[in-house]
């Protein structure tokens, strides 16, 4: 037996069945790993379990679940040398798509075992309500955060990504957004919704911040300056078509530090965070990630 591996899995994830976890354990054992399986039981539990792995120093910690589970695991392992790997089992698996990882069980396990650990940069967000939170993918502010806040959790379990789409449609129909003031590296901009990207992909294969890259120690922000329902619908169609950056009322910037003023709703990596104000910055080379 050459080393140890830990699997932190979320039983609520769509593909995280006991049978699939058993298959993963069997695969890793055949590769010579001693395997510890840790089951999450509540929100933020994956972060605590991952943090506990740092002293044990396994060869790798595998986050088995969706992007929310992955986010918790990276928040546990941030600033450590313990490498994280992905076993995509969630609703959209956006980070797996960003890294071009296989989303089938054995393909993802093959990358976890034989891939190369690389230091990646993360986004770091601070609000008034709690400790700093790190994200691999993005922070959504305004409409985006409100849509995640309103997602029907029961529907999400049944329909997956369709729950987010439905929530977005409902939010556009009902939401009267407040104007948001955003400072990007000290320069002031205004809008009604914004996405800060540490990665290019969003909600699947859409690209709201197409130049963002986990290996690049910068963030990108798209600020949508119209607040009417037709504007919000137009932006959504633009994102789907990949044409939103050509709109005159969309500001797209490369950034190191972003400050969000006011009480806008905020989500990170597809999970609701809370209300602003917030400070978002880059945590350079903060995580060892296998891909």
**pLDDT at residue number 155:** 41
Burial of 54 (0-12, 13-18, 19+ CB in 10 A): middle
Report how many helices (DSSP H) and strands (DSSP E) the chain contains, helices first.
9, 16
Split at pLDDT 50, 70, 90, the class of 106 is: very high
The answer on pLDDT for 222 being more than 60 is: yes
Which are the contacts of 46, defined by CB distance < 8 A and separation ≥ 6? 8, 10, 40, 63, 65, 69, 72, 73, 76
Q: Reduced to 3 states, what is the DSSP secondary structure of residue 58?
A: coil
Token pair 């093959």: residue = 110
**Structure tokens belonging to residue 5:** 């591996």
In angstroms, the CA 201 to CA 178 distance is 26
160: pLDDT confidence band, cut at 50, 70 and 90? very low
Mean pLDDT of the region 115-136 = 96
pTM value surpassing 0.85: yes
Residue with tokens 């490498």: 83
Q: What is the mean pLDDT of residues 74-79?
A: 98
Segment 144-163 shows an average pLDDT of: 59
Give mean pLDDT, residues 206-223. 97
Query: What is the reported pLDDT for 172?
Result: 59
pLDDT at position 233 is 87
Q: What is the pLDDT of residue 166?
A: 47
Please tell me the distance from the alpha carbon of residue 286 to that of residue 291, in angstroms, as a whole number: 15
Query: Which tokens go with 155?
Result: 């529907």
In the prediction, which pLDDT does 143 show? 85
Whether 244 contacts 95, CB under 8 Å: no
Q: Hey, which bits of 231-277 come out as E strands?
A: 250-255, 257-261, 265-268, 271-275
All domains in the chain, ordered by first residue? 3-115 (3.40.50.10330), 123-284 (2.60.200.40)
Distance CA 121, CA 282 (A): 7
Mean pLDDT, all residues of the chain: 91
Instruction: Report residue 97's pLDDT band, with 50, 70 and 90 as the boundaries.
Output: very high
Per-residue model confidence as pLDDT tens digits over 240-259: 999 999 999 999 999 999 99
**Cis previous bond, 134, omega within 30:** no
């Amino acid at each position: 037996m050459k080393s140890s591996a830990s699997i932190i899995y979320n039983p609520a994830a769509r593909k995280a069945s006991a049978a699939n976890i058993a298959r993963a354990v069997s695969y890793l054992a055949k590769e010579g790993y001693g395997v510890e399986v840790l089951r999450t039981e509540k929100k933020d539990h994956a972060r605590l379990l991952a943090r506990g792995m740092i002293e044990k120093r396994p060869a790798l910690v595998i986050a088995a679940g969706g992007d929310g589970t992955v986010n918790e695991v990276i928040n546990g392992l941030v600033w450590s040398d313990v490498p994280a790997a992905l076993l995509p089992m969630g609703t959209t698996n956006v980070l797996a798509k960003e890294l071009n990882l296989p989303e089938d069980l054995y393909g993802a396990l093959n990358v976890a075992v034989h891939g190369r650990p690389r230091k990646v940069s993360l986004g770091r967000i601070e609000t008034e309500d709690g400790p700093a939170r790190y994200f691999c993918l993005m922070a959504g502010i305004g409409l985006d955060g409100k849509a995640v806040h309103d997602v029907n959790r029961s529907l999400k379990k049944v329909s997956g990504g369709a729950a987010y789409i439905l929530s977005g449609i409902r939010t556009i129909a009902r939401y009267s957004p407040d104007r948001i003031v955003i400072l990007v590296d000290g320069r002031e901009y205004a809008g009604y919704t914004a996405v800060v990207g540490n990665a290019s992909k969003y909600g699947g294969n859409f690209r709201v911040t197409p130049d963002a890259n986990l290996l690049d120690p910068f963030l990108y922000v798209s600020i949508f300056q119209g607040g009417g329902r037709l504007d919000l619908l137009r932006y959504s169609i633009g994102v789907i078509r990949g044409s939103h950056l050509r709109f005159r009322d969309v500001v797209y910037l490369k950034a190191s530090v972003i400050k969000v003023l006011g009480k806008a709703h905020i989500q990170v990596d597809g999970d609701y965070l809370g209300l602003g104000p917030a400070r978002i910055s880059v945590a350079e080379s903060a995580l060892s990630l296998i891909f």
